[in-house]
A and B are shown apart, each in its own frame.
Chain A
Amino acid sequence: MNPMLAVEGLSMVFGGLRAVSDVSFTVRKGEVYTLIGPNGAGKTTIFNAISRIYPPSDGRIFFEREDLAHRGQHEIARLGIARTFQNIELFEHATVLENLLIGRHVHRGTRLWQELVFSPAVRRQELAFREAVEKVIDFLDLAHYRDTRVAGLPYGVRKVVELARALAVEPKLLLLDEPSSGLNVEETDDMAFWIHDIRSDLGITVLMVEHNMTLVSRVSDRVLALNHGEVIAEGTPAEVQNHPGVIEAYLGPAVEA
């Protein structure tokens, strides 16, 4: 199998806190790979290391065999990695459409002076952007909200808009940070279908952090369980769920009866 993302011996230290220590895993092309673990296990920290919000204290991250260590935060999207955030980081005062258009920024081919005069090239590009974005809007059923400002939208919809914005980048790898958090049962169900479709219809590899085990077992191919920044198990959802270390991490050590 073709490794898309390889994390090798990643460690993150904040002051005296070891948030992540010596974590290694690879994500293969075309799979859904999930990180699970109790709060504070270091899942989001790994995400932030991949998107280079913080530089890793130790270890290396390769995307399609390229070391990300020398890449700036804004270059990650251009390589083909898009992400969502745990607490939703949308552009509040822009419409849904404008939010998605920002996702197209990496495909910008015009120069500043062309944009100042709105040259035909800019116009063509804007039309092409809208066409691409419309496909995402269609895919995620957002047509109703197209021209609505994000600031007034309900939480569940914002979550989908953020997913849509990441898809508008046309990434090869999608990082989803808790896609179901704050969603009701029905919305979580939709999210599961979408993640499935993103992988099978759009061919995008997905790396996600998720707590909802039903969603995890429905969509993921492989799962990595973390606790206190260390790997405790890796395998199929069923294998990991039954792993004694995982059960201990969630429920505490077994008590002798």
Chain B
Amino acid sequence: MRFIFKTDYAQDLQLFKHGGQTFWYGALAVALVFVPWLLSPYFVSQLTFVLIYSIVALGLMLLSGFTGQISLGHAAFLAVGAYTESVLAAKGWPFPFSMAAAALTAGIVGVIVGTPALRVKGIYLAIATMAFNIIVEEVLARWESMTGGNAGLQVGPLAMFGWTAQDEREMYYIALVITAIVTLGVVNLLRSPTGRAFVAIRDSEISAASMGISLAFCKSTSFVLSAAITGIAGALYAHRLRIVTPDQFTVLQSIEMLMMVVLGGLGSIHGAFFGAAFVIILPQLIAVAKDYLPPAIGQATGLQPALFGLILVGFILFEPLGLYGRWVKTRTFFQLFPFYRRGMFRRQKVFMKSERLR
């Protein structure tokens, strides 16, 4: 059991709260830098995918996990980012500029969608964003002069200032650097007033407003940042797949993204990464498992969505805090060994909500 003895306010602001954390995050960083030299190109490319999805999950986590606004349209922002990148890369823009443009375009679309959509809450917001996703899908399929219609656009390798990403490994490093920057940005935001305002809105809109937080402005900020981060992921996504077509950005994709943050654990940065890794790794595991299962089950169509659904239901019932919650519990178990008790993380019920102002 570790007790952090605070003697200085600056300690509250540290990224790593104690030596143990510094050590383990350092070890993780070293491992992430060296891992492409140990794995086959196939696994490296899967790892790149995990990183790209992590960026998406971070963006959506900011909106859904921290600000409490559901979006079922984030695949559309990924699309806006990916198509912007594809078009600009074809025109020869260096990657840093085209990626910034992708983030900006997604952000602007975020303003246009978010301003009216955020006037509604909960399920209505989900439906509004879903409708937006469908509209974007249609636009991508029909605006043939720009998007190439249903055939999509071919995307060249990631290139900047005369340098071109040659193989999976280089692509991985670019994704790693960008993931690190985005993560740092989100963490910074969350330890500043704006990030706290997001959490305040999630927990109680009425008292957030009476503490001087502008609901409309903060929700829009969160929406736009979330869209821009997803746009950045879109830029990487385009180069990773080398082709963009409208059917990569359907509402189903949006649902998968939301599932990623719910499974990972709403309201935690770790959760974004866990969720992304899970969503990428599970289909692989299922593919491997297929060979060992009896053919009646293994070859059944719809095995993967069914399993996904089952796992999602299981998590919501037994572990609402997601993979991150499981991780915290496991860690506490070992930290306190042998004193861990089953009820330690049970949420105390509050029976005072009957007269809440809405």
Contacts and interface: CB of A to CB of B under 8 A. Distances in A.
Contact of A91 (B189, B193, B199, B215): B199
**Main secondary structure on B side of the interface with A:** helix
B13 A126 contact: yes
**Main secondary structure on A side of the interface with B:** helix
A102 B202 CA distance: 13
Interface string B346-358: 0110101111110
Interface residues of A, number: 50
A105 B193 contact: yes
Interface in B240-278: 267
Interface string B188-222: 11011111110110111011111111110000010
Given A98-B196, A118-B192, 16 more contacts: A48-B357, A74-B213, A76-B210, A85-B357, A86-B355, A87-B353, A89-B204, A91-B202, A92-B203, A93-B202, A94-B196, A94-B200, A106-B211, A112-B194, A115-B188, A169-B212
B19 interface: no
Interface string A125-158: 1110011001000000000000000011001000
B12 interface: yes
29 contacts: A48-B357, A51-B210, A53-B209, A78-B212, A87-B355, A87-B356, A89-B356, A89-B357, A91-B202, A91-B203, A92-B204, A93-B203, A93-B267, A98-B199, A101-B196, A102-B196, A102-B213, A105-B200, A105-B211, A105-B213, A115-B195, A116-B188, A118-B191, A118-B192, A123-B13, A126-B9, A126-B12, A126-B191, A169-B211
B211 A102 contact: yes
Nearest to B4: A147
A90 interface: yes
Interface string A46-64: 0010010100000000000
A68 interface: no
Given A97-B12, A116-B189, A77 B347 contact: no
Contacts of B296: none
Given A78-B212, A87-B355, A110-B192, A127 B199 contact: no
Interface in B1-50: 9-10, 12-13
Interface in B132-160: none
A78 to B, nearest CB: 5
Contacts of B204: 89-92
Contacts of B352: 87-88, 155
A69 to B, nearest CB: 17
A91 B66 CA distance: 12
